[in-house]
Amino acid sequence: MRPNKIIFVIIFFIVIIALAVYLNSSIDHKIEYDENISITWTHLSSENGDIPSPGPSIEQTASLILDVDMDGINDFIIGSRKKGPSLLWFKKDPAGWTKYLIETETLPIEAGGAFHDIDGDGDLDVVFGGDWRSNKVWWWENPYPQYDLDRPWVRREIKNSGDNMHHDKIFGDFDGDGEIELVFWNQYANKLFIADIPSNPKDGKLWPYNEIWSSDSRTEGLAIGDMDGDKKTEIFGGGRWFKHISETDYTAYLIDDTQKESRIAVGDLKMGGFPEVVMVPGDGVGRLKWYECTGDPTESSCWEGHDILGFDVDHGHSLDVVDINGDGMLDIFVGEMRLDGDNNDAKMWIFWGDGNGNFREEIVATGYDNHESRVGDLDGDGDIDILGKPYNWNTPSLNIWLNDDAADLSLGLWERHIIDINKPWRSIFIASADMDNDGYEDIITGGWWYKNPGIQGTNWTRHTIGQTLNNMATVYDFDDDGDIDVLGTQGKGSDTNAVFVWGRNNGSGNFTIINNIEPGDSDFLQGVAVGNFHGGGPVEIALSWHEEGKGIQMLTVPSDPSNDMWSLRQISTISQDEALSRGDIDRDGNIDLLLGTKWLNNDGGSWTPYTINTDSGSPDRNKLADINSDGRLDAVVGFEAISKPGKLVWYEQGDKVTSMWTEHIIANVVGPMSLDVTDMDNDGDLDVVVGEHNLKNPYDAKLYLFENSDGQGIAWNEQVIYTGDEHHDGAQIVDIDNDGDIDIISIGWSHGYVLLYENRAIKSSVKI
């Protein structure tokens, strides 16, 4: 063959190969390349003094984002090795972040920690495991509310034998028994283990654990999700998913064996059907792919992988699937490492999802080391920020990218829905919680819970909680099994009945009604507050009754809430016979109680009453909230005024908490006896929602939103959300459709409606 023909043939085959690669990538990637920045990010760094440096270790191995101190704003934890302190947590405050100690010793902390309320005291404890040098897994007891900058948390061992290295841990109810388990990899054993939380985890004994699966090589990565629609939580990791069969038996189903040592995340990237899986090599170089199954997920042939970028990711050790921009569709967050200073152009990406499996790429930052960088709301403004944690490049250091596009939300777009047009009897309280663990907030009121239809778009379904539980008072995970239970009384509406029962949830919204609670001594409840009022003590429920002269009573939940008696005692003869709000009013680490214009100071063993204001009116609903952003809890109060104008005020806490608080009038509205407080417009300050109790003219009753327009509680912008519904102990806020804006649920005294006011500031994919 002549040379020119040889050259032609070579060129021809090169063109064919390039065309095939192009066609394959153009079909597989499903990605648009857009230079427009979707979100404005503000970069903060410990190098600039914006964040305290985690130092002195130069190997930062782990991170977590969680609300450590239960103040409603996320904190974060940084773990390290080779030089102590090994664990630190960072608390958000008005000036930035303050660094607190968790573990002072030098421990070989490995990546992949987890958190859960291990000891059932209402706060989140944390778990980390040892690296290649250690066969241990530890847990640290959260000392809420007693924190000290330099005092470590109590550490206990979960595992201290067998093989070394424990990269990745996760909590969940994986066997459907209603109890939370811990799952962890043990890399040097090439095994995946599951451990039961002991009944008394603080006794120092090791946890029992069993093997789920073993491999012939190293595996890592853990995520959870319901893979097959059976409403049970499955485990994802090692390029597989694991289904519980019976007792300690699990079956592993292959997704992609080439991704067995990858980061993994699970979510509904294509709305409807099975969840999708995203994987990327975290400790190596390889492709970022998302996987879908349209047939039988137990068959490996069902799984189709889609290469998102078309080129390798270099140590993509940061991965998550979350709705970052609040459009109701999941996005993918990925970050590359700069291991040992290599990979100078390491990238941090967001792939914006459209809910149909298509993505638009955005590079947030280049040149930073991302090792277990995470996404979450770090500043409490309701949007998703980025915590950037390097491993060993330019360490010790931290980076944060704050999402500045939490644009002020419009407050003028609302849609009213009648969830129930005629519930069987009057209810006193209304609340929201995910009762069946499907990811959507349901509504609970009276003797019923209403299932959120979610993405399916069908009608809300009313479910009876259980016979004799007729008047829901509060919802909480009383037995610490990971699902939400219900406390209530046997009376209907305002009938005199102080006999308590509680509904134990099996995790799917089915309840066993238990009557092992000491009865009260009054007519019907008006205020309830749940909390851990004595440090590491039991969960307790503060109670305020409608009948005068009954004081404030307290239920104590026993360690075995299903079998032991719940005791009742009076903690104060002082009561204003209406709502209760809980919070650390005097900032001493103990949870106090707001009664209205009085408050009870929790001294650790006794309750001392103080007066906020000597107003002669009758305070009805109240909320504790920092209205002027000065770091002190203020009191928002709506006064009793049935069918006539009444005061809606907030009381400003001054320098001395036990002195009189300054009264600020928000408005005078008819019967401001339904009340809640949150940041409705996403501008960083707290607004007030109020429903009118107008029995004489219910068709003129209004639902108001008062916008804190100056952020100091001095100037308020009044907006009417809806006119025509009377409200009583309603107007409670919740993001019912998971779209990132705040909706409102409500009830009234004179009608049988259960109402939802849907905020349309952000378009939601959930049909309600």
Model pLDDT for residues 596-632, shown as the tens digit of each residue: 999 999 998 899 999 999 988 999 999 999 999 999 9
CA separation for the pair 325, 409 (Å, rounded): 13
What sign results for the dihedral spanned by CA atoms 267, 273, 277, 278? negative
Q: Give the chain's end-to-end CA distance (angstroms, integer).
A: 72
How many Cα atoms are found within 13 Å in the side-chain-facing hemisphere of 305?
Answer: 17
Model pLDDT for residues 310-337, shown as the tens digit of each residue: 999 999 999 999 999 877 789 999 999 9
Model pLDDT for residues 139-184, shown as the tens digit of each residue: 999 999 899 999 999 999 999 999 999 999 999 999 988 899 999 9
**Residue 358 above 50 pLDDT?**
yes
**Residue 131 above 50 pLDDT?**
yes
- Give which of 498, 485, 377 is closest to 433, Cα–Cα: 485
CA separation for the pair 637, 675 (Å, rounded): 8
Averaged pLDDT for residues 584-599: 96
What is the structure's pLDDT at 761? 84
CA separation for the pair 281, 221 (Å, rounded): 10
**Residue 24 above 60 pLDDT?**
no
Q: Residue 204 — φ and ψ, nearest 5°?
A: 85, 0
CA separation for the pair 320, 322 (Å, rounded): 6
What is the structure's pLDDT at 295? 93
Model pLDDT for residues 395-438, shown as the tens digit of each residue: 999 999 999 865 566 788 899 999 999 999 999 999 999 999 98
For the chain, which domains are there? 408-425+618-768 (2.130.10.130)
Model pLDDT for residues 645-672, shown as the tens digit of each residue: 999 999 999 999 999 999 999 999 999 9
In DSSP terms, 388 is beta-bridged to: 399
Per the prediction, the chain carries an average pLDDT of 92
Written as one letter, the residue type at 551 is: G
pLDDT bucket at 536, cuts 50 / 70 / 90: confident
429 and 414 Cβ atoms separated by less than 8 Å: no
479 and 199 Cβ atoms separated by less than 8 Å: no
CA separation for the pair 347, 362 (Å, rounded): 10
What is the structure's pLDDT at 18? 43
166 and 129 Cβ atoms separated by less than 8 Å: yes
Q: Which two tokens stand for residue 483?
A: 């699902």
Averaged pLDDT for residues 533-545: 91
**Residue 53 above 50 pLDDT?**
yes
Strand-by-strand arrangement of the 743-746 sheet = 414-420, 754-759, 743-746, 732-734
pLDDT bucket at 271, cuts 50 / 70 / 90: confident
User: What number of other Cβ atoms are within 10 A of residue 365's Cβ?
Assistant: 18
Helix, strand, coil percentages in the chain from 3-state DSSP, rounded to 5: 5, 45, 50
DSSP 21: H
Q: Which two tokens stand for residue 162?
A: 């067998």
Model pLDDT for residues 386-404, shown as the tens digit of each residue: 999 999 999 999 999 999 8
**Residue 467 above 50 pLDDT?**
yes
Q: Are strands 96-103 and 87-93 parallel, antiparallel or unpaired?
A: antiparallel
Percent of the chain with pLDDT over 90: 83
User: What number of other Cβ atoms are within 10 A of residue 133's Cβ?
Assistant: 12
**Residue 202 above 80 pLDDT?**
yes
CA separation for the pair 749, 611 (Å, rounded): 30
Name the residue with tokens 């991965």.
Answer: 319
Cα-only R_g, the chain:
27
Q: Which two tokens stand for residue 540?
A: 């307790």
In DSSP terms, 432 is beta-bridged to: 443
Q: Which two tokens stand for residue 576?
A: 């204003």
Of 67-76, 339-348, 433-442, 730-739, the one with minimum mean pLDDT is 67-76
- Give which of 68, 201, 66 is closest to 145, Cα–Cα: 68
In DSSP terms, 262 is beta-bridged to: 281
**Residue 673 above 80 pLDDT?**
yes
Averaged pLDDT for residues 250-256: 98
Q: Which residues contact 633 (CB under 8 A, 6 or more apart)?
A: 583, 584, 585, 624, 625, 626, 653
Name the residue with tokens 């959870």.
Answer: 224
- Give which of 461, 467, 465, 472 is closest to 426, Cα–Cα: 472
What is the structure's pLDDT at 10? 41
Strand-by-strand arrangement of the 581-583 sheet = 581-583, 592-594, 598-602, 607-611
Distances (CA, A) of 543 to 495, 550, 733: 17, 10, 22
444 and 486 Cβ atoms separated by less than 8 Å: yes
pLDDT bucket at 13, cuts 50 / 70 / 90: very low
**Residue 738 above 90 pLDDT?**
no
In DSSP terms, 488 is beta-bridged to: 472, 501
- Give which of 746, 748, 180, 764 is closest to 450, Cα–Cα: 746
Averaged pLDDT for residues 482-487: 96
DSSP structure string for 138-189: EEEE--TT---TTPPPEEEEEEESS------EEEE--SSSSS-EEEEEEGGG
Percent of the chain with pLDDT over 70: 93
What is the structure's pLDDT at 406? 57
CA separation for the pair 593, 606 (Å, rounded): 12
**Residue 466 above 50 pLDDT?**
yes
CA separation for the pair 403, 419 (Å, rounded): 34
- Give which of 552, 566, 568 is closest to 601, Cα–Cα: 552
* Three state DSSP letters for 333-397: EEECCCHHHCCCCCEEEEEEECCECCEEEEEEEECCCCCCCEEECCCCCCCCEEEECCCCCCCCC
